[in-house]
Structures are given as structure tokens and as C-alpha cells.
Structure 1
Amino acid sequence: MFDIDSCIGFITNKASKKIAEVFNDRLMSYGITRVQWIALYYLLKDGKASQKELADKMNIKESTIVRLIDRLEKEKYVERVKEPENRRITYIILTDSGKNRITELIPEGEKMKDSISKGITDEEFETFNRVLQKMIDNIS
């Protein structure tokens, strides 16, 4: 008989939700959500992104990214900038305030990574990543 508690899809989903919840709780004490942190992180890393590019990187719907960008813009963390050569293209970029905020909070991501990978060797982590990638490939 099927046992959901031994189903890898259920196990990984449960773990992912728990990790996301704990990280979100940590960031909320700084007045920012995990999803906002991720968006700011990618914008810092990439310099700019269209709404679609950011949605794709974050694996969220474009309708969701619009609301997220609206909130970040209201907080003065990002701004929308039209591409000078093609005004139909709008990029999202970090403001100075947004750069300062994410730079200040990057260490929280590092702390989270350290706490969840405690006791896991590099070899185990590489194996874990390979297995997850195979699972993703299997369902794609």
C-alpha cells in the first residue's frame, strides 16, 4: 500500500516548506519577507531583470511578481526603468536603499544555509543535488 510518509515528493515538499517557514520567520524580524529577500538577492546578483526574468528565476507566476514588485517599489527598494532603445521593455533595478537592505541581509541567508547544512559533508550535498536534479529531470 502507498505510504505518503515515505513518498519522496511529500518528504521534499515538507522539508522545503519548513526551511522556507524558518527563513521567513528570521527575516520578518527585519521587516522583510523571504520572497522579498529572494527578489532583492537576484536583482543584486544580476543588476537588473524584467518582470518575466525575475518571475522565472524565482519560480513564481508573473501575476505574483507584479504585486511583489509593487510592494518593493512602495518600500523604495526597487524601481521600474524603461529600456531607452525599446520603451516597451521595463527592467526592475535596485535603488540605493534596496542595495543597502539586501547587502545588510545577505548574512541571514548564509546563516540559514549553515544551520540547515550542519553535519552534511560536501560529498553528501553533491549527491543530494544530483538526486534532486534527476528527480526534476524525471518529471520534466
Structure 2
Amino acid sequence: MNTLPSEKHLGFLINDVARLVRRAFDQKGQSCNLTRAQWQVMAYLFHNEGSNQASVADALDVEPITLSRHIDRLEAMGYVARVPDPSDRRARRLHLTESVRPLLDQMKIIGNEVIATALEGISEQESEILIDLLSRIRSNMTTRGVESCCDESVKDAAAKQPEKVLT
């Protein structure tokens, strides 16, 4: 079997870089007394103000009950408000409060510092190429339906070499 070392495998690299960036963000963000999950919720709401909980949970790939707990804590801190949805009396829209704005500014500074560290030694042109390539990879995965794509790959592999899939 001819395999690349893990440090040269694309899947490993994407996952490891994401892990290291998250870790750096966690370390720099500790001074704000918020978890990365709470930061993610607020960052999503910053760009998608007025979203409902179901769409936020889906976008962040978390269970609705998990998101609800995050929102409960953020609401208790005064950072998020649940506002009744005018078109659906059962639904609530999520909005950031004014009191969280300074924290969001700090979050942006931390995020920029982490990315600047990650991109040290990489030219602006290389960075743009990297962004373009990663955007295309993401587009490939989202436009083809990740779940159906993966299901078909597993079925194809199983049809060709069932013993390899099971081991």
C-alpha cells in the first residue's frame, strides 16, 4: 500500500491546521472568559443577525439542544437576546446586544492575530491562492452533498473490495 506520510496527506493537514488555529484562538481568547463554542455562536450571529436557533445549529453543526444551552448562557451574560419571530409565534430570532460589541471588537483582533501568525512567511499572493483553493474544495464538498458523496464512495469501495472496507 503506497501512502503518504500523515504530514503530507491533505485530509490530515486540513484537520491539523484547523485544530492548531482553534487551539491558538482558545489560548488568546481565554482573557474574555468565553468558550470557543460561544465565540462561534456570536461570530455567526454577527454575520447573520436575526437567524433562528435551528438555522444557527445547522450552520454550526451542533445539536439544537447544545446550541440552546450556549444561547442560554450568552443570554444570561447579556450578549444575546431572543426576540419573537413576527411570522412564527413559536420561533425566536437571535440578536446580539449592544453590550457585546466591545467584546466582538476584541474577538476580531484576536482572530486577526491568530491568522497573521498562521500566515507568517506566506506572501499575499500565496494567501490568495490558498483561499481560492480552499474555497473550491469547500464548494466541491457543499455542491455535491457531502453525505451522499460519502455514502456513494463507501458503497463503491465495498463493491470493489468488501474485505478492505470492513477491516
Q: Is the 8 A contact 1:44 1:99 kept in 2?
A: no
**TM-score normalized with structure 2 length:** 0.70
Give how far 1:49 is off: 1.3
What is residue 123 of structure 1 aligned with on the other side?
Answer: 129
**Which runs of structure 1 show a deviation greater than 6 angstroms over 4 or more consecutive aligned residues?**
none
| Aligned-pair identity (%) | 25
Pairwise CA distance, 1:116: 1.5
CA–CA distance in 2 between the matches of 1:103 and 1:110?
A: 11
Residue 25 of structure 2 aligns with which residue? 23
TM-score, normalised by the number of residues in structure 1: 0.82
- Whole-Å separation in 1 of the counterparts to 2:55 and 2:28: 27
Deviation at 1:77, TM superposition (A): 0.7
Matched, 1:105 2:107: yes
CA distance in 2, matches of 1:103, 1:132: 27
Partner of 2:81: 79
Query: Which residue of 2 is the match for residue 14 of structure 1?
Result: 16
**Which of 1 and 2 has greater Rg?**
2
Structure 1 CA distance for aligned equivalents of residues 93 and 40 of structure 2: 17
Partner of 1:51: 53
Which deviations, in whole Å up to 9, do the C-alpha atoms of 1:11-40 show, x marking residues without a partner? 322221121111111111221222212211
Relative CO higher for 1 or 2, CA cutoff 8 Å, sep ≥ 6? Answer: 1
Note the residue ranges of structure 1 that are not aligned, 5 or more in a row: none
Q: Secondary structure at the match of 2:32?
A: coil
The whole-number CA distance in structure 2 between the counterparts of 1:133 and 1:98 is: 32
Q: 1:82 is aligned with what amino acid?
A: P
- Unaligned 5+ segments in structure 2 are 150-167
